[in-house]
Amino acid sequence: MTNLLSAQFSKLFKNKMFYAAVIIFAAIGFVSTMLFFRYIPDLAHFAEEAKANGDTEYLQNMYETSIMFDISSRMDFHIIVFAPAIFISMFIGREFDNNTIRNKVIVGSSRLLIYLSNLIVCFVAQLIMHIVYCLSAFIPSIIVYLKYRSIINMRFFDISFKDFLLSQVIGIGIMLVCSSLYLLITMTAGSRTRAVISSIIVILAMFLVSNKINTILYVPNEEDYNYYIPTYTETTDTPDTSNFIEFDPYFGYDSYTNYVESYRGKNLKGGKRFLYETIDDTLPTSQALYIMSSDATSPRTGKIILCDLLFSVVLSAVGIIIFNRKELR
Amino acid sequence: MDYYVLKTNNLCKNYKSFKALDSLTMNVPRGAIYGFVGKNGAGKTTLIRLICGLQFPTSGSYELYGIKNDDKSIALSRRRMGAVVETPSIYLDMTAKENLKQQYRILGLPSFDGIDEILELVGLDNTGKKKAKNFSLGMRQRLGIAVALCGNPDFLVLDEPINGLDPQGIIEIRELILKLNHERKITVLISSHILDELSRLATHYGFIDKGRIIKEMSSEELEAACRKCVRMTVNDTKALSRVLDDMNIEYKILDDTTADVYAKPNFSQLAAALAKENCEVVTIEEHDESLESFYISLVGGAEHD
């Protein structure tokens, strides 16, 4: 397989689209991090004023808004699930359009090895994009951290380093699943155009399913339901939402209450909940949301990583079986 | 050592309800330029796709260098072949040299030695940094052949390589094929529906129609079949033989009553000599078969089977 890998990597590192994607990831990493921390200079200014005025309470509260590199290093996972849909479809799909896949089959290369070499190269391409993103996010983060850490009480990681690494492992799992999925679609579709369209449809469908499942999973238990309904205080006609923890009241309070009420009694339990959670743990779109919003010490982390491995193996096996029987022109 | 590089045995290929190959049996001798002749849709490209491993037979089998298609070691046989199927499989955004380097990597060859020689052989040694997308059709065809030549194959499969080429391009491809066969002893299977061009190249022919081989013959046999002659029908071919031998005239006995005479004898003298032998002449007709008419008669004969 080394010869096939050598050929594919050579093609990858000559591919303009790959370099364009790397540049885009680098730009997003740098710009999004700069935007994320754009308030730091103002914060530093207020901190210096508070220090001069001896306002210790203000300085303590600033801890909540400290710089956190680990967040910016996870922000690209919502792009990681989408970008390969285009890249892999175009990169591998071109082999079918210009029929260069024939060159490998005619000289006796095994179809299994052709498929696996494509899978490895697609995965490595995503990994490179993510590493470039992290490095681009790291550079402004470290600059800001070093410049302002004496003024503001800052932490470079909000979570422990171990949890940070775990979130990256989940990220690698996401990349593996995405590589397997989009490669299966592309090798089955047999043309660049069909592969791109099919991959985009699949990823959009996954986003919709993830959103729906996420909403259903967060419906509270019946006994806790009233805890989430806003209550009106006696002295004011605006609702007291201090007991809201899970839901985000972005609709406005009345319509939000109706929205919450519509889910009353629809919380999942038992086997059904397990099934929905498993689907949620398997979908790379759900995992991307999970990484960006929660910490990696949740008990579901191990299950997520296992689901990634299993899902990748199943997708790859299906892809290999289909490609082995595929009639090439 | 096998005499035949490729042997097919009742090879069938169905696409849903359409029978593309129907019990096709053919043999490509080692060292030959095998002209695979048939009209559009006869099954030429289908056969080539099967033997290249791109598609799978519905039934039947084939052997490459004596190894059957369902044998796992067929991959080793495939390393000895190169093919251009329909259109050349090249990377349009790479130069000629980069295309060959890519094929060398796929083959796992330890170095890029020999690339310059291959490019020179196909006449693309001066293309420099020009990308394949800027090549003419003839140049792309030659690049496709160059890619097929990577790894020093001794069996080359070319599917209609002169399609769309101008006369100069056709001549170049023809001379290249002859050079590969004569100098490098490469066996060539070339499919075409342009008979005239094949007749300048092929040492063996396989005529295909509706997925079946109608006839296989060597170029000598074809030449004999198409040679200008006088076809005579007599009641005693032995007597005819004696008379023609006495007159030193070349001939060929076809059956008990028919013979082809490859000269224009003095028919008066011939008739008189035959009369002395009590041999009656039933018919005399001029026979001049072109390759096209021979092919049409073959296919037409097949239609009436």
Instruction: Report the residue of A100, A105, A325, A328 to disrupt the B interface, i.e. the one with the largest count of B CBs within 10 Å.
Output: A100
What average pLDDT does this structure show over B117-132? Answer: 91
Report pLDDT for B222: 83
Q: Which of A40-44, B109-113, B185-189 has the lowest mean pLDDT?
A: A40-44
The stretch A212-238 carries a mean pLDDT of 66
**Residue B16 φ/ψ, nearest 5 degrees:** 55, -115
| Segment A187-207 mean pLDDT | 92
Neighbours of B104 (CB within 10 A): 23
Domains in chain B, CATH or no CATH each: 4-217 (3.40.50.300), 228-288 (3.30.70)
Mean pLDDT of chain A: 82
Please tell me the predicted confidence (pLDDT) of residue B198.
85
Minimum Cα–Cα distance from A11: chain B residue: B102
Question: How far, in Å, CA of A62 to CA of A149, rounded?
Answer: 12
Q: Which of A149-153, A247-251, B103-107, B206-210 has the lowest mean pLDDT?
A: A247-251
Strands B33-37 and B187-192 turn out to be parallel
| B53:A108 CB<8 A | yes
CA distance B82 to chain A (A): 7
User: Does the beta-carbon distance from B74 to A108 stay under 8 Å?
Assistant: yes
Most confident of A252-266, B32-46, B276-290: B32-46
Q: Which of A20-24, A168-172, A210-214, A258-262 has the lowest mean pLDDT?
A: A258-262
Strands of B229-234's sheet in order across: B251-253, B258-261, B229-234, B281-287
Which of A157-166, B128-137, B254-263 has the lowest average pLDDT? A157-166
CB contact under 8 A, B89 and A99: yes
Residue B251: strand pairing partners: B261
Q: Are A272 and A219 in contact (CB under 8 A)?
A: no
Q: In chain B, pLDDT over 70 holds for what percent of residues?
A: 96
Q: Residue B281: which H helix or E strand, with range? A: strand B281-287
Nearest-angstrom CA–CA distance, A77 and A96: 29
User: pLDDT (tens digit, 9 = 90+) per residue, A157-180?
Assistant: 667 777 778 888 888 999 999 999
Q: Is the pLDDT reported for residue A248 higher than 60?
A: no
CA distance A66 to A71: 11
Best of A94, A98, A103 to disrupt the B interface (most B CBs within 10 Å) is A103
Residue A140 pLDDT: 84
pLDDT band at A226 (very low <50, low <70, confident <90, very high): low
pLDDT, tens only, B136-175: 988 999 999 999 999 899 999 999 888 878 888 888 888 8
| B residues 108-137 closer than 8 Å to A (CB) | 108
- Helix, strand, or coil (residue B18): strand
Share above pLDDT 90 across residues of chain B, in percent, rounded to a whole number: 53
Give dist(CA A128, CA A232) in Å, integer. Answer: 53
* pLDDT score for A48: 82
Q: Which residue of B has its CA nearest to A117?
A: B106
Contact call for residues A99 and B140 (beta carbons, < 8 A) = no
Q: Strand pairing of B81-84 and B155-159?
A: parallel
Nearest neighbour of B106 by CB, restricted to A104, A325, A329 = A104
Q: How far apart are CA A214 and CA A294, in angstroms?
A: 13
Chain A segment 3-22 residues within 8 A of B by beta carbon are 3-4, 6-7, 10-11, 14
B82/A10 CB distance under 8 A: no
Q: Which of B241, B242, B197, B226 is nearest to B288 (CA)?
A: B226
ipTM: 0.81
Whether A241 shows a pLDDT value over 60: the answer reads no
Three-class DSSP category at A146: helix
CB pairs under 8 A between A and B: 79
User: Does the distance separating the beta carbons of B52 and A108 come in below 8 Å?
Assistant: no
pLDDT band at A245 (very low <50, low <70, confident <90, very high): very low
Which pLDDT value is given to residue A198?
94
Strands across the sheet containing B204-209: B81-84, B155-159, B187-192, B33-37, B204-209, B212-218
**Residue B221 in this model has a pLDDT that exceeds 50:** yes
- From the list A6, A106, A329, the residue facing B105 with the nearest CB is A6
A98, A102, A103: residue with CB nearest B92: A98
Given 3-state DSSP classes, what are the helix, strand and coil percentages for chain A, each rounded to the nearest 5?
75, 0, 25
Q: pLDDT-derived band of residue A261, with 50, 70 and 90 as boundaries? A: low
Q: What was the pLDDT predicted at A246?
A: 46
Q: Which of B16, B55, B89, B147 to mutate to test the interface with A (most CBs of A within 10 A)?
A: B89
* Residues from chain B contacting residue A106 (CB–CB below 8 Å): 52-54, 78, 81-83, 85
Among the ranges given (A8-17, A76-85, A302-311, B101-110), the one the predictor scored with the smallest mean pLDDT: A76-85
- From chain A, pick out residues whose CB is under 8 angstroms from the CB of B92: 98
pLDDT in tens, A104-130: 999 999 999 999 999 999 999 999 999
User: With bands split at pLDDT 50, 70 and 90, how would you rate the model's confidence at A316?
Assistant: very high
Q: Tens digits of per-residue pLDDT, A33-87?
A: 888 788 788 888 888 888 888 877 776 666 555 555 666 666 667 777 888 889 9
- Gyration radius (Cα) of chain B, Å: 24
b/e per residue, A201-213, with b = 16+ CB within 10 A? eebeebbeebeeb
Å between A8 CA and nearest CA of chain B = 9
- State the pLDDT at residue A252: 57
Look up residue B282 and give its two tokens. Answer: 């039933």
* A65 near B CB under 8 A: no
> Which residue would you say has higher pLDDT here, A147 or A326?
A326
Contact, A83 vs A132, CB < 8 A?
A: no
A234 pLDDT exceeds 60?
A: no
Percent of chain A scoring above 70 in pLDDT: 77
B236 contact partners, CB below 8 Å, separation of at least 6: B277, B278, B279, B280
CA dist., res. A291 & res. A76, Å (int): 10
Which range has the worst mean pLDDT, A108-117, A155-164, A258-267, B21-30? A258-267
